[in-house]
Amino acid sequence: MADPVRPAVPQTTGGAPQGGPPPVGVQVVHGANQRTLPELVGRRVSEARDVLAEVMNIPRLPIAMIGGRNVEQDYVLRPGDRLEFIQEQGVKG
């Protein structure tokens, strides 16, 4: 698994579009659903999870990734970040 991205490391793999207007929010993805929320800029991954846990059905301590890299729960979110909480595969069939 890729090394976790820590808060002190400059984040260069986020979802900021090139050439367009500057990104204003953080895109959060879990399973099939995604939301972009400006108020998550400057908040930690764990806080984003807590804010969206119920509305996006996010479990406790999910794998969190930005730009294909694992991020720690205390990573501070930046404008343009695309934060994905990995949804586990459904068990039943």
Residues near other proteins (CB under 8 A) are: 1-2, 13, 29, 31-34, 57, 63, 67-69, 86-93
Q: How far is the CB of 29 from other proteins (least distance, A)?
A: 8
Q: How far apart are CA 63 and CA 87, in angstroms?
A: 8
Q: How far apart are CA 63 and CA 42, in angstroms?
A: 20
* Closer residue to other proteins (CB): 18 or 89: 89
The three-state secondary structure class of 65 is strand
* Closer residue to other proteins (CB): 3 or 21: 3
- Contact between residue 22 and residue 81 where contact means Cβ atoms under 8 Å apart: no
* Closer residue to other proteins (CB): 25 or 31: 31
